[in-house]
Structure 1
Amino acid sequence: MAGFFERLKAGLAKTRERLLRAIPWGADPEAVLEELEVALLAADVGLSATEELLQEVRASGRRDLKEAVKEKLVQMLEPDERRATLRKLGFNPTRPRPVEPQGHVVLVVGVNGVGKTTTLAKLGRYYQALGKKVLLCAGDTFRAAGSAQLAEWGKRLGLPVIQGAEGADPAALAFDAAQARRARGYDLLLVDTAGRLHTKQGLMEELKKVKRAIAKADPGEPGEVWLVLDAVTGQNGLEQAKRFHEALGLTGVIVTKLDGTAKGGVLVPIVRTLKVPIRFIGVGEGPDDLQPFDPEAFVEALLEA
């Protein structure tokens, strides 16, 4: 993970520029907060979260406004205060803590075009580097290119891939993959799924079926259901997240393409609204640019030039 913090800062450059360029941190506090309000809204933090942040910073009476803003943003990005306190004891922005999934199966979902398959392959690489024995499932059976794409990633990374024929039942394939994980002694199964609009009820019901099939093959699984969101969608991504959460009970969110947008603040309303943690963020196209999400490292990279 060498160079983690440098890659994070580089990936957040557009959002950081929007937040910092117009804020006179050394000026009159009220003038700073007025400019900060505009910048936070422009970065897609959202009206409600922005108002809460400004209210608490004002109430704190702190002279060092930047540090007060940092502390509040960290709390909003990791709302469990006890957990946030414990993290501070060992925080190191250059060496993030590993993301350890619950259970042995991670179901990865999201709408079309967010980069699910590539993200899943990068997750495979990440857990492979942690020494885990990883199995991939090409559950996007509607798109021939999706299965082929994951198979190519598997070949490149040396990871086995469970595949089915084009048009095969994704629930049946997920069932087979979950059974294979147990039989072959793999530590972790990552299940890809076809992209689908969160507004299409039939397709969402199909995802529920996939989740049930995994549970039948491997009771208690999937231990995690992670939603992949494209940061470029900003506040629209929050509505997507709500629908997927209602249908599947999300346990985490992965936000991709943060390097391509100035809307990186959308992570705040996602955590604040869903009470679901951000697990990883994508800050580039490279295989190592999917980074474990650490609220303190994120805020540090966001507010320090």
Structure 2
Amino acid sequence: MDAFVSFLQTPWAVVVGLVLAVLVGLVIRLVVSSRQRPSEDVSVPAQPQVPATGESTTPTQADGESPERPRAGPEASEESAAPAEAEITAEPAVERPEPVRGRMERLRERLASSGALGRAILGVLSRGQLSAADWEEIEESLLIADLGLEATDSLMEALKRRVAVESTTDEARIREILREELLALVGPDMDRSLDLTRPEADGTSKPAVVLMVGVNGTGKTTTVGKLARILVAEDKSVLLGAADTFRAAAADQLATWGERVGVDVVRSDREGADPASVAFETVREGIARDVDVVLVDTAGRLQNKSTLMDELGKIKRVMEKQAPVSEVLLVLDATTGQNGMKQAEVFAQATGVTGIVLTKLDGSAKGGIVVSVQRALGVPVKFVGLGEGADDLAPFDPQGFVDAIVGRA
């Protein structure tokens, strides 16, 4: 202790004290500066600029003038557009179906490209003096085209009479005679419009209800989807019903068609559910939503299965507890020929068919079924399908159809 006191009295003690004081000061300065420096990993948002005293923080507006809006720069517009683009891509794209008028013209041209039947008949009729063999050739061509025995006999009689009376071999005149007689068979005066009148009941406007029926493999579910596109193109609100509960993919297929045009589908989550129940719920939901048209798809069935045909009658009766069924459309495959006639007759008895939809009418060589099915049932062909495209279904045009069969001059 005495030695330490003696050291403090020497000049070296002063030097050591100054050095220690400097070191302590440096340490304190380093500690303070490190606490005041912000971290480089933390971003500090820019503070809003405070307006000068007396200035308003809201834009002023002169009398009768709109407030001036600042223009957004390129960076701002790109940033604001980015979320909108993400939102659009997240939503399913809704298609705008082709207008009915446009598709009718296109389908008429497609039919006109195939006039094999008309060319064959015209080739025989223009030979001049026709023999019995010539008339047999014409008759055979008509039967091959599925015109049917009764319609073929009627057309043959009319052609023989008019050719004999006019005694002409002029191809243009013969073409006109054939056109007139075929058009009379097709029935240009039949009402082919779809009854979409909304019935009134208890002060409520109910939707028009359309029931689609047919055998397996005719393209019925696809036809329902295509018909929905036609109705949407005509600015009708539509609700679809997936009452085909036996085919697993039927409801999904119908839902896909609906999504493409923004149309909802009523379906059951349980495979094999009661189709009449699904149809009933579809009509009830259509009334609740106040839609214009309810389209109900049903399971394909063979006409010789009586229990399945009875089920169709039940579906229709259950639907009519909610609203009357405006149309029952039978979907037929045009390539099935006269077998389609038997199908049509049985379905007509079970459900009261009001119109025919002919699918796969991709050529006029087999177009005679249009005449035969109408003569058998007394109901018109209302729609025809001529391809696999989404808009390849169109209202049936008798004049265009006959012109396609006869061919162009």
- The C-alpha deviation readout for 1:264-286, integer Å capped at 9, x for no partner, is 21111101111110010001111
Q: SS of the residue aligned with 1:27?
A: coil
Shift of 1:217: 1.3
Q: Count the aligned residue pairs.
A: 288
State the distance in 1 between where 2:268 and 2:105 align: 39
Q: Tell me if 1:73 matches 2:182.
A: yes
Q: Distance in 2 between matches of 1:29 and 1:151?
A: 60
Distance 1:68 1:18, change over 3 A: closer
**Per-residue deviation, residues 120-170 of structure 1 (Å, max 9, x unmatched):** 000000011011111111111111100010011111111111111221111
Q: Give the conservation status (yes or no) of the 8 Å contact 2:327–2:354.
A: yes
Deviations along 1:231-285, whole A, 9 cap, x unmatched? 1101110110011011111100000001168312111110111111001000111
Q: Which residue does 1:151 correspond to in 2?
A: 255
Cα displacement string for residues 60-90 of structure 1 (whole angstroms, at most 9, x for unaligned residues): 43543322222222222227xxx36xx9xxx
Whole-Å separation in 2 of the counterparts to 1:170 and 1:37:
45
Residues 70 and 23 of structure 1, relative CA distance in 2, 3 Å threshold: closer
**Structure 2 residue aligned with 1:50:** 152
TM-score (norm 1): 0.87
Distance 1:70 1:101 in 2: 32
Range moving further from structure 2, 167-176 or 256-265 = 256-265
Residue of structure 1 in register with 2:126 after alignment: 26
Structure 2 counterpart SS, 1:225? strand
Corresponding position: 1:4 with 2:104: yes
Which blocks of at least 5 consecutive residues in structure 2 are unaligned? 1-100, 199-207
Report what 2:43 is aligned to: none
**Contact 2:238–2:292, Cα closer than 8 Å, also in 1:** yes
CA distance in 1, matches of 2:380, 2:296: 20
Within the candidate set 224, 230, 236, 1:126 is matched to 230
Q: Which amino acid aligns with 1:57?
A: L
Distance 1:107 1:3 in 2: 24
Q: How does 1:69-148 map to 2 (within 5 A)?
A: 69-78=178-187, 83=189, 99-101=194-196, 104-148=208-252
Mapped contact 2:194–2:327 kept (Cα < 8 A):
no
Is the Cα–Cα contact under 8 Å of residues 12 and 283 in structure 1 kept in the other structure? no
Aligned with 1:196: secondary structure?
coil
Contact 1:134 1:159 in 2 (8 A): yes
Higher gyration radius (CA): 2
Which of 284, 288, 295 lines up with 1:190 in the alignment? Answer: 295
1:203 to 308, 322, 326: 308
Q: Which stretch has the larger CA shift, 105-114 or 164-173?
A: 164-173
Report the 3-state secondary structure (helix = DSSP H, G, I; strand = E; otherwise coil) of the residue aligned with 1:113: coil
Is 1:262 equivalent to 2:369 in the alignment?
Answer: no
Q: Which residue of 2 aligns with 1:17?
A: 116
- Cα distance change on mapping 1:199 and 1:98 into 2, 3 Å: closer
Distance 1:217 1:6, change over 3 A: closer
Q: What TM-score comes out, normalization by structure 2 length? A: 0.66
Report 1 or 2 for greater relative contact order, CA contacts < 8 Å, sequence distance ≥ 6: 1
SS at match of 1:2: helix
- SS in structure 1 at match of 2:294: strand
In structure 2, C-alpha distance between the alignment counterparts of 1:289 and 1:146, rounded to whole Å: 20
